[in-house]
């Protein structure tokens, strides 16, 4: 990871800023490939302050900033799940985004390594994620980190039904 970048957990008091930052990075990443109406609908729902506050209050959900000079340059969300249903304790990696200004500076790699280490520390056996089938740059990144495609699922962006690849990495 870039030695000037650090990763820290987001507090519930930072919900407003985290919601705005996450929405801005999502829009920066996907706006040109989607309609303005669908983007607006998705951002209003997924990054609503109340929703982000609920996520930050959930004991199984962890949100993180990647920061440089105390300013956010990236973020991610991890959701830990117990083994009761599948028999395997897992972690979902969600919303791993890096500001375009910081692409190719190892910020994403730092967040990924942190996600793997955090998941292992919390006894997760698998780390999984969903990635848009048309986001080849992200798919290549995940493949480089040892993730494999295990399925597909629907993802609704506003009124647009899209397809996400399910990818997972074994941590044990």
pLDDT for 1 equals: 59
Contact predicate 127/169, CB 8 Å: yes
Q: If we measure between CA atoms, which residue out of 66, 70, 67, 51 comes closest to residue 12?
A: 51
The dihedral built from the CA positions of residue 142, 110, 50 and 19, taken in this order, carries a sign that is negative
Q: Structure pTM?
A: 0.92
Q: If we measure between CA atoms, which residue out of 169, 60, 71 comes closest to residue 113?
A: 169
Decide which of 3.40.50.300, 3.40.50.720, 3.40.630.30, 3.40.50.2300 is the CATH code for 5-129. Answer: 3.40.630.30
Query: Half-sphere exposure (CA, 13 Å, Cβ side) for 60?
Result: 12
pLDDT 10s digits, 36-60: 999 999 999 999 999 999 999 999 9
pLDDT 10s digits, 57-91: 999 999 999 999 889 999 999 999 876 666 789 99
pLDDT 10s digits, 97-125: 999 999 999 999 999 999 999 999 999 99
The dihedral built from the CA positions of residue 113, 81, 134 and 44, taken in this order, carries a sign that is negative
Rounded distance between C-alpha atoms, residue 121 and residue 106, angstroms: 22
Parse the chain into domains and list their residue ranges.
5-129
């Amino acid at each position: 990871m870039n030695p000037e970048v650090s990763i820290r957990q987001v507090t519930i008091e930072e919900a407003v800023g985290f919601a705005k930052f996450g929405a801005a990075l999502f829009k920066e990443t996907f706006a040109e490939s989607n309609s303005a109406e669908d983007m607006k609908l998705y951002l209003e729902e997924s990054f609503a302050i109340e929703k982000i506050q609920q996520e930050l209050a959930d004991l199984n959900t962890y949100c993180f900033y990647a920061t440089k000079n105390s300013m956010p340059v990236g973020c991610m969300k991890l959701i830990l799940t117990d083994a009761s249903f599948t028999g395997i304790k897992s972690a979902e990696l969600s919303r791993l985004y890096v500001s375009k200004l910081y692409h190719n500076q190892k910020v994403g790699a730092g967040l990924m390594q942190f996600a793997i280490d955090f998941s292992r520390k919390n006894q997760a056996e698998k780390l999984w994620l969903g990635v848009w089938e048309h986001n080849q740059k992200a798919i290549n990144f995940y493949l480089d980190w040892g993730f494999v495609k295990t399925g597909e699922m629907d993802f609704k962006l506003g009124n647009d039904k899209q397809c996400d690849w399910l990818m997972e990495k074994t941590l044990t």
